[in-house]
Amino acid sequence: MTEKTTRNRRIRKKLHLDEWAILGFEFSCNLAEASEDEYEAFFNTFADVVIDQHLYITLNDESETLEGFVTSADRYGNATEEDKTAIEAFLYGQNIASDVKVGPLVDAIYGI
């Protein structure tokens, strides 16, 4: 017999639960071989998109594969479907990025 634990608002906020959950999404793509200037242009433009959307990205760079997790830069903010669309559109628009995958919105703390 399991009973649902009820927590007050302050505890839910500290634990990032319910209305305080932080949503984010994963993405990945393969990067083709390119010149250093092309990589620099890619990452500078990617940084501009991230800043314009007011996001944080954690990257896991493994030579040919670029993987990351995206969350909002706002305190208690969430990544949105519009953020997913912006990141996906950017990656699809790049010549050096292929096999682009963008995951669903998930709880960034408990859903990974």
Predicted confidence at residue 59, as pLDDT, reads: 87
Among residues 62, 60, 57, 92, the alpha carbon closest in space to that of 73 is found at 57
Q: pTM for the full model?
A: 0.82
Domain range summary for the chain, segments of one domain joined by +: 21-107
Predicted confidence at residue 1, as pLDDT, reads: 45
Q: Which CATH architecture has domain 21-107?
A: 2-Layer Sandwich (3.30)
- pLDDT digit string (tens) for the chain, length 112 residues: 455 677 788 887 777 777 777 889 999 999 998 899 999 999 999 999 999 999 999 988 666 789 999 999 988 789 999 999 999 999 999 999 999 999 999 988 887 6
d(CA 25, CA 103): 6
